[in-house]
Amino acid sequence: MEMKNIPFGTTDWSQIEPSEHKGEHGMATWRTQQFGDIRVRMVEYSPGYLADHWCKKGHILLCLEGELHTELADGRKFVLTPGTSYQVADSAEPHRSYTSTGVKLFIVD
**CATH numbers and ranges of domains, the chain:** 33-108 (2.60.120.10)
Query: 77-108: per-residue pLDDT in tens?
Result: 999 999 999 999 999 999 999 999 999 999 99
Band of pLDDT at residue 43, cut at 50, 70 and 90 = very high
Q: What is the mean pLDDT of the chain?
A: 95
Three state DSSP letters for the chain: CCCCCCCCCCCCHHHCCCEEEECCECEEEEEEEEECCEEEEEEEECCCCECCCCECCCEEEEEEEECEEEEECCCCEEEECCCCEEEECCCCCCEEEECCCCEEEEEEC
Does the global pTM surpass 0.85?
yes
Average pLDDT over residues 61-79: 97
Reply yes or no on whether the pLDDT at 35 is more than 70. yes
Residue 1: what pLDDT? 67
